[in-house]
Amino acid sequence: MADVHDKKTRSYNMSRIRAKNTKPEMLVRRYLFSRGFRYRLHDKKLPEKPDLYFEDKI
């Protein structure tokens, strides 16, 4: 499938896409924190750096 944008337009569009702290992500994080869930963000020790990581408390 051919790209419908030229290189300059595609570069501009991609520069506006955020990978972290997006609005939906922030809403989920606020909801979980208010319900007592504690988590880590973008844990680099795990493969693919998940947005949220819940640790086991044993």
DSSP string for residues in 5-56: S-HHHHHHHHHT--SSS-HHHHHHHHHHHHTT---EES-TTSTT--SEEPPP
pLDDT tens-digit series, residues 22-32: 899 999 999 99
pLDDT tens-digit series, residues 44-58: 888 888 888 998 776
Domain spans in the chain, listed from the N-terminal domain onward: 21-58
| Spatial contact of 52 and 39, defined as CB atoms under 8 Å apart | yes
Question: Mean pLDDT of all residues in the chain?
Answer: 89
Tokens of 21: 């702290």
